[in-house]
């Protein structure tokens, strides 16, 4: 049987995502006209509510990875209905990576998509989670299984929010900075090593420089590969194991990524891709930032998470490894190979 085929092409939606550095209150007041709804992380709003324009209505989201679910998204849909949100409205997520993920997903799917913007209030969200247009929620504990690729209209990075971050949350943000540097920019990695002390002291100028570098690198990569088919995969460095850890324990995302990167660096050396010296530099920097580099984890937990990984093809998984600091590579790896590495790394219980 033959088919007659007519092809249709669709112009990509014209959309510019602006990343702005500065004081959020004035910026938001200017950017937000028409019907606006702020979706705020409860804790961030309690600490920084005065930094948001008082005239804008806000709803609160309780925090926690366990709440990054479709149930929370449904709750938001109901709130949108109650507030008369429509396609001319603007939804603004104010909070950490969880708030940005949930809000971005709800906005991208409500009425087939309404515009949204972000005011990330954690270092992790300013340097990573709010950027690039991936919005997702967890399904039965499996990370980011349901999601969209939709760019926010704007992202306001205001350093004032970062002053109240607990030490552990701050370190989690540093983990994603290390990730970006390790796979994409050696100069940035050296910057992080050189200024580790100042960054830990939250020196505003250094922090601003580090966030701006991470934004430039991540937005550059996302602009060239929005849908995660090639170069963007590199930004998943450390995340394969991290997702297994997050599924099986209450560990924070950044801490799980730190452990995942240390393991991936060790595998890179075992595969003769990277030198041991580079693995040691990576783990030394993570430890300098107060991050964990080892975990007590069973192969069953890892194997289960691998089975659901979005980078899985047949029985192989695209694992991000290091060629050297500043240069990541993607290597397909069979499940048995992964299991051998895992046991040799002595991560198992």
Residues that bind ligand NAD (CB under 6 A): 41, 43-44, 47-48, 63, 65, 68, 95-99, 101, 121-122, 124-125, 128-129, 132, 134, 144, 161, 164-165, 169, 172, 253-254
CB of 110 to ligand NAD, least distance (A): 18
Cβ closer to ligand NAD: 43 or 341?
A: 43
66 closest CA partner among 168, 167, 140, 165? 140
202 closest CA partner among 179, 242, 173? 173
Classify residue 273 by its DSSP letter: S
CB atoms within 10 A of CB 222: 21
Question: What residues contact 60, with CB distance under 8 A and at least 6 apart?
Answer: 40, 41, 42, 45
Cβ closer to ligand NAD: 122 or 279?
A: 122
CB of 147 to ligand NAD, least distance (A): 8
Classify residue 132 by its DSSP letter: S
CB of 162 to ligand NAD, least distance (A): 6
335 closest CA partner among 324, 343, 327? 343
> Within its chain, how far is the Cα of 12 from the centroid?
24
Cβ closer to ligand NAD: 31 or 150?
A: 150
Locate 285 and state its tokens: 């920097």
Locate 252 and state its tokens: 């924070």
In whole angstroms, give the CA distance from residue 287 to residue 166: 17
CB of 196 to ligand NAD, least distance (A): 20
Question: What residues contact 29, with CB distance under 8 A and at least 6 apart?
Answer: 53
Angle among Cα 296, 302, 305 to the nearest 5 degrees reads 135
Cβ closer to ligand NAD: 41 or 278?
A: 41
CB of 46 to ligand NAD, least distance (A): 9
CB of 88 to ligand NAD, least distance (A): 25
């Amino acid at each position: 049987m033959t088919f007659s085929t007519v092809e249709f092409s669709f112009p990509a939606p014209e959309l510019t995502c602006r990343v702005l550095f500065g004081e959020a209150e004035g910026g938001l007041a200017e950017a937000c006209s028409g019907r606006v709804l702020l979706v705020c992380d409860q804790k961030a709003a309690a600490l920084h509510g005065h930094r948001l324009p008082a005239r804008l209505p806000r709803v609160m989201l309780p925090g926690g990875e366990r709440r990054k679910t479709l149930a929370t998204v449904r709750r938001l849909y109901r709130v949108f209905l109650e507030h008369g949100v429509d396609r001319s409205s603007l939804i603004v997520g104010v909070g950490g990576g969880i708030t940005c993920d949930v809000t971005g997903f709800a906005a991208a799917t409500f009425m087939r998509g309404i515009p949204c913007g972000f005011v990330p209030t954690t270092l992790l969200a300013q340097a990573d989670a709010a950027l690039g247009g991936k919005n997702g929620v967890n399904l039965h504990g499996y990370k980011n299984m349901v999601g969209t690729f939709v760019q926010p209209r704007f992202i306001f990075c205001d350093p004032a929010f970062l002053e109240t971050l607990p030490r552990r949350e701050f370190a989690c943000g540093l983990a994603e900075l290390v990730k970006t540097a390790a796979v994409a920019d050696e100069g940035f990695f050296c910057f992080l090593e050189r200024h580790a002390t100042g960054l830990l002291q939250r020196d505003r100028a250094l922090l601003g420089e580090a966030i701006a570098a991470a934004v430039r690198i991540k937005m550059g990569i996302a602009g060239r590969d929005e849908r995660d088919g090639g170069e963007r995969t590199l930004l998943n460095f450390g995340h394969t194991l991290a997702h297994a850890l997050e599924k099986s324990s209450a560990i924070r995302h950044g801490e799980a990524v730190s452990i995942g990167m240390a393991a991936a660096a060790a595998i890179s050396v075992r595969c003769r891709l990277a030198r041991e010296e580079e693995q040691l530099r990576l783990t030394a920097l993570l430890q300098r930032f107060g991050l964990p580099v080892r975990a007590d984890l069973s192969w069953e937990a890892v194997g289960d998470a691998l089975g659901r990984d979005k980078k899985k093809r047949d029985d192989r998984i695209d694992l991000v490894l290091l060629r050297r600091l500043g240069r990541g590579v993607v290597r397909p790896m069979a499940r048995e190979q992964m299991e051998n590495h895992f046991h040799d790394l002595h991560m198992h219980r």
